[in-house]
Amino acid sequence: MAKRQKILVVGAGPVGSLAALYAANRGHDVEIYELRSDLRDPSTTPLNFTKSINLALSERGLNAMRHAGQARLIDHVLSATIPMHGRMIHGRRANGQLYEESQAYDVHGRAILAIDRGGLNKRLLDILEEMPNVTFFFNHKLTGADFRRNKAWFEVRGTEADNQGQRAREIETGFDLMIGADGAHSAVRYHMMKYTRMDYQQLYIDTLWCEFQIQQKPTPPDAALKSKFRISPNHLHIWPGRDFLFIAIPSEDGSFTCTLFAPASLYERLESDSTGSLITSFFDEHFPGVTSLIPPAELISSFRQNPHLPLISIKCKPHHYGSSAVLLGDAAHAMVPFYGQGMNAGLEDVRILFDILDKHARMDELLSESSGDSSDRAAASRARALAEYSAVRIPDAHAINDLALQNYVEMRASVLSPVYRLRKFIEES
SS3 355: helix
Is the sign of the CA dihedral 346, 350, 355, 356 positive or negative? Answer: positive
CB of 162 to ligand FAD, least distance (A): 15
Nearer to ligand FAD, 245 or 379 (CB): 245
Residue 141: phi, psi to the nearest 5? Answer: -110, 125
What is the rounded CA–CA span in Å between residue 60 and residue 399? 15
CB of 112 to ligand FAD, least distance (A): 8
Sheet strands (E) in 54-197: 54-57, 82-84, 86-92, 98-104, 112-116, 134-137, 140-146, 151-156, 169-174, 177-180
CB of 260 to ligand FAD, least distance (A): 10
Residues that bind ligand FAD (CB under 6 A): 10-16, 33-36, 47, 53, 55-56, 141-142, 181-183, 187, 209, 259, 329-330, 337, 340-344, 346
CB of 411 to ligand FAD, least distance (A): 12
User: By C-alpha distance, which of 264, 262, 268 is closest to 283?
Assistant: 262
Contact 279, 272 (CB under 8 A): no
Nearer to ligand FAD, 190 or 420 (CB): 190
Nearer to ligand FAD, 53 or 356 (CB): 53
Nearer to ligand FAD, 348 or 364 (CB): 348
Contact 249, 54 (CB under 8 A): yes
What is the rounded CA–CA span in Å between residue 281 and residue 287? 10
CB of 337 to ligand FAD, least distance (A): 3
CB of 291 to ligand FAD, least distance (A): 22
CB of 353 to ligand FAD, least distance (A): 13
Residue 26: phi, psi to the nearest 5? Answer: -90, 5
User: By C-alpha distance, which of 73, 68, 179, 51 is closest to 117?
Assistant: 51
Nearer to ligand FAD, 45 or 370 (CB): 45
Contact 317, 188 (CB under 8 A): no
Nearer to ligand FAD, 61 or 254 (CB): 61
Nearer to ligand FAD, 61 or 322 (CB): 61
CB of 15 to ligand FAD, least distance (A): 3
CB of 33 to ligand FAD, least distance (A): 5
Rounded to 10 deg, the angle between the 117-129 and 14-25 helix axes is: 30
Nearer to ligand FAD, 259 or 323 (CB): 259
What phi-psi label fits residue 27: left (phi over 0), alpha (psi between -120 and 50 degrees) or beta?
Answer: left
Contact 303, 165 (CB under 8 A): no
Nearer to ligand FAD, 31 or 34 (CB): 34
Q: In what order do the strands lie in the sheet with 140-146?
A: 140-146, 151-156, 169-174
